[in-house]
Amino acid sequence: MAVRDPAMTDVARLAGVSHQTVSRVLNGHPNVREQTRLRVQAAIAELGYRPNRAARALVTGRSQVIGVVAQNTTLYGPASLLAALEQTAAEAGFAVSVGSVRDLDHRSISASVERHLAHRVAGIVVIAPVESAGEALERLPKDVPLVTVDGDPRRPMPLVTVDQTAGARAATQHLLDAGHRTVWHVSGPSDWFDSAGRIEGWRAALLAAGAEIPPLVPADWSAAAGYRCGQMLARMPDVTAVFTANDHLALGVLRALHEHGRRVPDDISVVGFDDVPEAAYFIPPLTTVRPDFGAVARASLAMLLAQIGSASGGALRETIAPSLVPRQSVGPPPRR
């Protein structure tokens, strides 16, 4: 005689709750006490229960799939966010369907969102770090559960973002605290919100300290761009501190400084942003700012599930603070 697979009612009986409570736990509903959630999860693990996702989709009209729209890029920040979203969704019982687009413009985003909706996804997360994405998102249907990540902070849309301004301010202040009179900034692309926030934080720290604000050194996100900017900065003897908008820019700057005989941190101090896995192995190990991509992913999923489970939709904005990671690339300015 065949053994019957465990059902939701079996989980409810073992956990001592109703089957509706089991359903709420499976759907990641926020209105479940943590003790109850843990008890249900323990019962699921003990019984080896697997929810029938196809049946649930027929009942609810939605699948257990989160749609994600993201630019097709290998840049560390967006790629790390996507990986964190996939892991967080899996822990909550959701799969992730990724719609990669070449450009974050209205046509590409709309087409990707429509494909997700055709598959009855539970909700959509858009990683939208550039200005063109903000304009496109405003034209989407208003009844779609949707959260933007690292999007336009000026637009009234559900948004979870790293506090770029606070991170840049901490990086700049760290250099000022080391004794440097001012800090030069190698920025990211002008159409990225991350870049704009980091410029804002750099300037705010210098203004608060009454320090001179040097000209901005514009770049993209690449080590090659950092190298070109570093070639210029290395020839300027008054430059003693540099904050770069990401760690790859810092890597290029470090190479250029080395070629010109400018020692880090003896002659020039350098701070990056992102804390890429290689940053601790740069020469010297790079002081940088670490965004908490896991916290961004958890907040994004919680905000999305709140929209799915409530007409009011919950919070519209959450900002995740990054942390400074001091290493060996910062020291006091050289004595003249």
**Domain of 32: which CATH number?**
1.10.260.40
Question: What pLDDT does residue 137 have?
Answer: 78
Same domain, 174 and 286: yes
Q: What is the DSSP letter of 247?
A: H
Same domain, 275 and 301: no
Rounded-to-integer distance, Cα 298 and Cα 36, Å: 20
Alpha helices in the chain, H assignment, sequence order? 8-15, 19-26, 34-47, 53-60, 76-91, 106-118, 131-137, 164-177, 193-209, 223-234, 247-259, 293-309
Same domain, 287 and 309: no
Question: What pLDDT does residue 306 have?
Answer: 85
CA dist 54 → 61, 191, 213 (Å): 10, 42, 59
Question: For the domain that residue 260 is a member of, what is the CATH number?
Answer: 3.40.50.2300
Number of domains in the chain: 3
Rounded-to-integer distance, Cα 10 and Cα 117, Å: 33
Same domain, 242 and 283: yes
**153 in a domain, yes or no?**
yes
pTM reported for the whole predicted model:
0.79
Per-residue burial over 192-210, b = 16 or more CB atoms within 10 Å of its CB, e = otherwise:
bbbbbbbbebbbbbbeeee
**Location of structure tokens 């939701």:** 8
Same domain, 155 and 298: yes
Rounded-to-integer distance, Cα 26 and Cα 262, Å: 57
Residue 101 burial (C-beta neighbours within 10 Å; 0-12, 13-18, 19+) = middle
> Is residue 219 within 8 Å of 242, Cβ to Cβ?
no
Same domain, 201 and 283: yes
Domain residue limits at 144: 60-162+293-321
**332 in a domain, yes or no?**
no
**328 in a domain, yes or no?**
no
Rounded-to-integer distance, Cα 167 and Cα 171, Å: 6
Write out the chain's pLDDT in tens, 336 residues.
445 678 888 888 999 988 788 888 877 677 788 888 888 888 888 888 866 544 454 445 556 888 898 888 888 888 898 899 999 888 888 889 888 888 777 788 888 888 887 778 888 899 888 887 877 777 777 777 889 998 888 887 889 999 999 999 999 999 999 999 999 999 999 989 999 999 999 999 999 999 999 999 999 999 999 999 999 999 999 999 999 999 999 999 999 999 999 999 999 999 999 999 999 999 999 999 999 999 999 999 989 888 877 655 555 889 999 999 999 999 999 986
**171 in a domain, yes or no?**
yes
Same domain, 255 and 215: yes
Rounded-to-integer distance, Cα 236 and Cα 132, Å: 36
Same domain, 283 and 187: yes
> Is residue 212 within 8 Å of 238, Cβ to Cβ?
no
Same domain, 76 and 139: yes
Which of 126, 81, 79, 62 is closest to 99 using CA atoms?
126
Question: What pLDDT does residue 38 have?
Answer: 87
Same domain, 244 and 187: yes
Same domain, 47 and 87: no
